[in-house]
Amino acid sequence: MFEKVIGNSKIKEYLKTSIEQKKVSHSYLFIGIEGIGKKIIAKEFAKEMLCLSEKNCANTCKSCIEFESQNHPDFEIIEPDGNSIKIDQIREMQRKIQEKPIISDKKIYIINDSQKMTKEAQNCLLKTLEEPPEFAIIILIGSNESLFLDTIKSRCIILHFEPIDNNSLKKFIEDNYDIKNIDAETLKIFQGSIGKAIDLKDKISEYSQIEKMLKELDKKDLIEIVNMSKIIYDSKEEIYSILEYINVILLELSKLHYKYTKCINIVENTKERLKNNSNYDMCIDNMLFNMWGEVN
């Protein structure tokens, strides 16, 4: 189990031991940033719990075969419907989870991106967490712990996933893609996330440009800054990754000089405005203008 998953060895060990010692809980909350293997680990964990073999199954039992072909009747992953996980989705799950398992002796539900459950959905889920059927296990996966009701959290075993260390991340990219000699600057772009590394590995030069622009924010005039920022105008699709990266660089700069601290707020405000569907180019212009004003 977990052989192919990088990082978070303590959590993997803990989950493995809890299966071996038959001390599995009814509800878990996996918390951590995107792209560090929470869902893969949850699925491997579920597969192992459902497995019918005593040991070394290697996908030979009925349960593992059904699991691999994504047909396991005792296992389901719930994903957000649009921007949220709605109360109807939770009600549906609650109805199904009461029915006895068919192949295995457990029934397992993963709720992915579960911080997107509406408050009503969370309150509804609470009933099942308080009195789960004896065979039921629920694994919540989320990136922002503060969005969960305390009552939910108190019912779950909470496991905090760590970002992947730079050495493992470097090895992963170099082993799997035709990219060699990744330096420390580039690793910063990935922020400890395998998911980010896969998404951004081909955009390393664009990200370096952004870093250069930020480091020269207090040396160039506004026109030059806007010219250097073409990459941001052209990257509407991945603007949130870029804004996060901008904040990583600003955080570094703010350790050298206090004046960069306020720029971080400006970036956060820009994120909010974009989420509220403000005009894209105008938001970016405002952000650059305000950041430039802060440091000059």
Q: Using CB under 5 A, list all residues that contact Zn ion.
A: 51, 53, 57, 61, 64
Continuous segment of H or E residues that includes residue 157:
strand 157-160
Q: Between 61 and 187, whose beta carbon lies closer to Zn ion?
A: 61
Number of neighbours of residue 177 by Cβ within 10 angstroms: 13
Question: Do residues 106 and 136 touch, judged by C-beta distance below 8 A?
Answer: yes
C-alpha–C-alpha distance, residues 128 and 150, integer Å? 15
CB of 62 to Zn ion, least distance (A): 8
**Helix, coil or strand: residue 26:** coil
CB of 50 to Zn ion, least distance (A): 8
The strand pair at 157-160 and 136-142 is best described as unpaired
CB of 38 to Zn ion, least distance (A): 22
> Which amino acid is located at 269 in the chain?
N
Residues in a beta bridge with 29: 140, 158
Number of neighbours of residue 27 by Cβ within 10 angstroms: 20
Q: Between 61 and 149, whose beta carbon lies closer to Zn ion?
A: 61
| Buried b or exposed e, range 120-141, using 16+ CB within 10 angstroms | ebbebbbebbeebbebbbbbbb
**The tokens of 293 are what?**
């004003």
Q: Between 57 and 204, whose beta carbon lies closer to Zn ion?
A: 57
**DSSP per residue over 238-252, as a string?**
GHHHHHHHHHHHHHH
